[in-house]
């Protein structure tokens, strides 16, 4: 469920009409709904009933400061994958103890920052990282809780570029090698290895891969306890999918996911933590763009928008689907035309949809890409010297620009000429 709906023939974000935002902010822009962020966080958190759980929003999905502050106000912790994201979580109001640091390539400087701050947990992904973290923590006279991120060799059945739990993927430590590394971690100074972490990918629409991976985690926890390693915390990652195409069957609801988790781990006596990102913010955001040109060719009709792949790269990168709807509600019986919906970027891959049946469009019409809150603005760029686009947060009838469009001078401010070209 999301809070973008037609009212009196006009698409609204909660109680704010989108044409009003377009007129004042300019297109293209991202728009986020506070009500949807809140609802999705609360629905996911409540899906585990009274179980001992914590939720750590995955900052990489959408790192806008206002989005993070909204989630922090609801009690969310944060999962970060860089020193920059760690600082963003702190700025949003998170306590260091609420932060989990994941990622396969943490630098010594990032690990030192995590140790100095005393964050809640570091998810270690290699023996090399284990050694580096131990040396940093010991030299600082600190002890930091760690989990080894295990790779359970489970295919999540999602897009190859967002699958992370197979043995050929770069993430995690093969689960069969984990016991020896846990024994090593227990003997190393500065480390408190009482947790196991797992994350098998993103946009997973079937519960079976989760259950297969979680059963391996359960077996590993019992094995480690028999080895004298007191596992009392399981970090089960994120990855539960969201509906991108509302005409198809939706992914399993969080309640079904929660029931499966409790079935697998209910009697293990462990604290469980989760790292949802897309699930929380995906349907809480839309991208609004304007039709600039309608180009009729011999084989195709192109709707050329003022948004490009630099603003929303998912279709170009993943062949991802986003529902596209007009901001002005079409009347009943409005004729439809097949369009290739494209952007202005000088790439053939700058294509949002091919042969998409849409109500007849006119130049100047506004359209909205649904389910654009996750990995939209977060992955955007200034390719073709196009500025990053504004982000707007709506709360009921209120709205605010939470990231403004930079000027050309701001966009190029970091460039500098060498002395011989000055």
The residues annotated with a catalytic role in the active site are 346
Contact (CB, 8 A) for 92 and 69: yes
Cβ contacts of residue 106 below 8 Å, gap of 6+?
114, 122, 129
E strand map for 110-230: 121-124, 144-151, 173-174, 191-197
Find the largest Cα–Cα distance for the chain.
72
Separation between Cα atoms, residue 18 and residue 33, nearest integer Å: 12
The full DSSP string for 184-198 is HHHHSTTEEEEEEE-
Find out whether the peptide bond into 390 is cis, omega within 30 degrees of 0.
Answer: no
Q: Is the separation of the CB atoms in 37 and 71 below 8 Å?
A: yes
230 close to 194: Cβ distance less than 8 angstroms: yes
CB 158 within 8 A of CB 244: no
Q: How far is CA 72 from the centre of its chain?
A: 16
Closest Cα to residue 41, out of 245, 284, 266?
284
């Amino acid at each position: 469920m999301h809070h973008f709906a037609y009212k009196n023939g006009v698409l609204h974000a909660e109680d704010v009409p989108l044409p009003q935002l377009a007129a004042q902010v300019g297109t293209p822009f991202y728009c986020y709904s506070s009500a949807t962020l809140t609802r999705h966080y609360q629905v996911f958190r409540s899906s585990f009933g009274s179980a001992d759980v914590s939720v750590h929003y995955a900052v990489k999905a959408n790192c806008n400061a206002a989005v993070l502050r909204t989630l922090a106000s609801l009690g969310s912790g944060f999962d970060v994958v860089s020193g920059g994201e760690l600082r963003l979580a702190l700025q949003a109001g998170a306590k260091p103890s609420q932060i989990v640091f994941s990622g396969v390539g943490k630098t010594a400087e990032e690990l030192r920052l995590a140790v100095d701050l005393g964050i809640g947990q570091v998810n270690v992904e290699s023996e090399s990282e284990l050694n580096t973290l131990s040396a940093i923590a010991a030299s600082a006279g600190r002890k930091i809780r760690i989990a080894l991120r295990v790779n359970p060799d489970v295919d999540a059945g999602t897009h190859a570029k967002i699958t992370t739990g197979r043995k050929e993927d770069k993430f995690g430590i093969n689960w069969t090698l984990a016991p020896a590394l846990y024994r090593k971690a227990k003997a190393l100074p500065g480390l408190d290895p009482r947790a196991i972490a797992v994350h098998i990918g993103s946009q997973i629409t079937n519960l079976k891969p989760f259950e297969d991976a979680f059963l391996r985690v359960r077996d590993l926890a019992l094995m480690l306890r028999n080895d004298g390693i007191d596992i009392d915390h399981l970090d089960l990652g994120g990855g539960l999918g969201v509906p991108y195409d509302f005409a198809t069957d939706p992914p399993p609801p969080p309640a079904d996911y929660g029931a499966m988790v409790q079935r697998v781990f209910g009697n293990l006596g462990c604290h469980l933590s989760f790292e949802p990102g897309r699930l929380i913010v995906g349907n809480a955001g839309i991208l609004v763009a304007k039709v600039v040109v309608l180009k009729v060719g011999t084989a195709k009709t192109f709707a050329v928008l003022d948004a490009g792949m630099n603003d929303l790269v998912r279709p170009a990168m993943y062949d991802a689907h986003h529902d596209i709807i007009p901001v002005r509600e079409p009347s009943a019986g409005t004729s439809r035309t097949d369009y290739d919906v494209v952007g202005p970027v000088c790439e053939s891959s700058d294509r949002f949809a091919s042969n998409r049946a849409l109500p007849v469009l006119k130049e100047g019409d506004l359209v909205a890409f649904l389910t654009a809150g996750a990995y939209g603005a977060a992955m955007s760029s200034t390719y073709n010297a196009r500025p990053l686009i504004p982000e707007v947060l709506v709360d009921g009838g209120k709205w605010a620009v939470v990231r403004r469009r930079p000027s050309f001078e701001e966009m190029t401010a970091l460039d500098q000429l060498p002395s011989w070209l000055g």
